[in-house]
Structure 1
């Protein structure tokens, strides 16, 4: 019978939570720009954002590893500021996860911004509300299904990350050994009962996350 160590789950939950928070903070202004401005550089930004969807995780992880190590730009800057390396630490896999899961947040939010009727926005401006006030009181409340979709997809996507996390963070217990890597370790050790425990919990979590998302989106669309 397999034994269950909860540490990888807590680490995965921690990684997913902070990745989702950072993505939400980054994506709201980015998607606002993409939705409401017309510039030639937009297609370049959209292509870069979508790149993790088509790029093999090991390729992305490899270049992030080069960027995050002590000789890389971000890695050397981080080491000078905090006197600790980015690679093989939680902060490194957090940055990697933000980049890897960026499309999961940006695509739903961009669609959400574009779905808000323009006349609502202009009416808010006519009534004297600033662009920032219009964003928080008119636009965001009218795209809550898109926000929820971005949050759930980003969180669930990060929970299942493997290649990028392994390349940047390695397999360090309590620091970078997330649940997907724990499954890989169990399979390598031919400990299928333990692998089954980890995998079944992750499968159930992913299914319930999507089920709740679809139920809430369907409920809100009928309001």
Structure 2
């Protein structure tokens, strides 16, 4: 089907599992973090915001290298896990999942931060004055009014994870069924001069990336028009 071989489908399965897990984990982490960042301004918040945005400018191989050092058998985290009778996280799916969460964090936090900042505190304060508890305020006020930010955060995080390469290759290598994602497989195909296979996978990612950006811009435009209206 589509001229893809078993290793291609295997890489697709690993990739989409990584994208889905990364996106869900980051939405859980990014929501309270973005809400806190939007709550005010201070040197601490500025420092945290800079750390969150660091993957936007940091070469992915740098992050991958330090994670490899930390999570490998000789690193603090890796050696601690082995002392506990567990396995270190280098060259494992769990390892690249952790790396992906760290590397894609700004793509989840920043859209939510922008949505919460535009919402402001007034709607929440009104709901609180009417007796709504924290959960009710979030579910009935914050979430409906910022749903566009959540859709953008989900879409961008998923798409960015789909294209990760350097940090994955550095920490996870190229283990079929475990750490070999689509971007790494395309590299392997190109290195083996199998350009037809590399082209098929690359074209698929290109189309998916375009559609992702189209959805993001369409959502932003829709919610801008709704706010103006």
TM superposition score normalised by structure 2: 0.91
Structure-2 change in CA distance of 1:3 and 1:21 (3 Å): closer
Which one of 74, 79, 89 corresponds to residue 77 of structure 2?
74
**Structure 1 Cα separation of the partners of residues 120 and 51 of structure 2:** 27
1:1-223 mapped onto 2 (5 Å cutoff):
3-4=4-5, 5-80=8-83, 83-223=86-226
Q: Is the 8 A contact 2:78 2:87 kept in 1?
A: no
Measured after TM superposition, the shift of residue 221 of structure 1 is 4.3
Offset at residue 80 of structure 1 (A): 4.5
Instruction: Quote how far apart the aligned CAs of 1:220 are.
Output: 4.4
Change (3 A) 1:32 1:3: closer
Partner Cα separation in structure 2 for residue 208 and residue 180 of structure 1: 18
Q: What is the count of residue pairs matched by the alignment?
A: 223
Query: Contact between 1:79 and 1:86, CA under 8 Å: does it hold in 2?
Result: no
Q: CA deviation at 1:92?
A: 0.2
Distance 2:83 2:9 in 1: 34
Q: Which runs of 5+ in 2 are unaligned?
A: none
CA distance in 2, matches of 1:39, 1:220: 29
CA distance in 2, matches of 1:158, 1:82: 30
The Cα of 1:222 is off from its aligned counterpart by 4.0
RMSD, matched Cα: 1.8
* Cα deviation, residue 76, structure 1: 2.8
SS in 1 for 2:41: coil
- TM normalised by structure 1 equals 0.93
- Post-superposition, which runs of at least 4 consecutive aligned residues in structure 1 deviate over 6 A? none
Map Cα deviations across residues 116-137 of structure 1 (whole Å, 9 max, x no partner): 1432111101101123321222
